[in-house]
Amino acid sequence: MRITKMIAVVAFAVFGFTQISAQNADAKITLTKIVETSADDVWAELRKLDNIDKISSFVGKVEFTGPKGIGGSRVCIAPDGQGKFKENIIAFDDAARSYSYAVVEGVPATGMVNNFKVVDLGYQKSMIVWTGNYDAFVENPQMTEEQFSGFLNQACSEMMANVALAATK
């Protein structure tokens, strides 16, 4: 019994505090994905920045300019070529395995900043955490805020699943 309690305390200390530091409490949306491989392997895939068209069915082409880190910019073009959105990389930290990007054009929201982070869970397991936040939804005839939230959930869940798949190959 004593060993079980000790394991539980250690697990809480390691995983409980990791969860807290990995997530943004103010985020409108937080998604997580547990991956059965090391955080380094997952980060190696996620940090590429210019391959969104390979991990998202919502992006047919990506045009990346600037450095692969802070100051980089990507324009993601829909598969049919009709829609696009622009993102600027505003934070990038290899040591913390995280990056943040501001969506500056093409979405019905102002002040949108999103973050990807890879958390090392030990024992060849990791967790991808995506947080999304924006200041205000911009009313428009094409979608409601609920539909926008649904789109973000679907698109980011798909990207995280595809990053996980690529990292475990």
Question: For position 25, what pLDDT does the model report?
Answer: 65
Residues of the chain below pLDDT 50: 1-22
pLDDT digits (tens, 9 = 90+) for 137-156: 999 999 999 999 999 999 99
Please tell me the total count of domains within the chain: 1
- Structural contact between residues 62 and 74, judged by C-beta atoms closer than 8 angstroms: yes
pLDDT digits (tens, 9 = 90+) for 20-46: 344 556 789 999 999 999 999 999 999
Q: Map tokens 């102002």 to a residue.
A: 110
Question: For position 24, what pLDDT does the model report?
Answer: 55
Domain CATH number, residue 152 = 3.30.530.20
Question: For position 26, what pLDDT does the model report?
Answer: 75
**Does the global pTM surpass 0.95?**
no
Range of the domain at 108: 2-167
The edge-to-edge listing of strands for the beta sheet with 112-122 is: 29-35, 125-133, 112-122, 98-105, 84-93, 73-77, 61-65
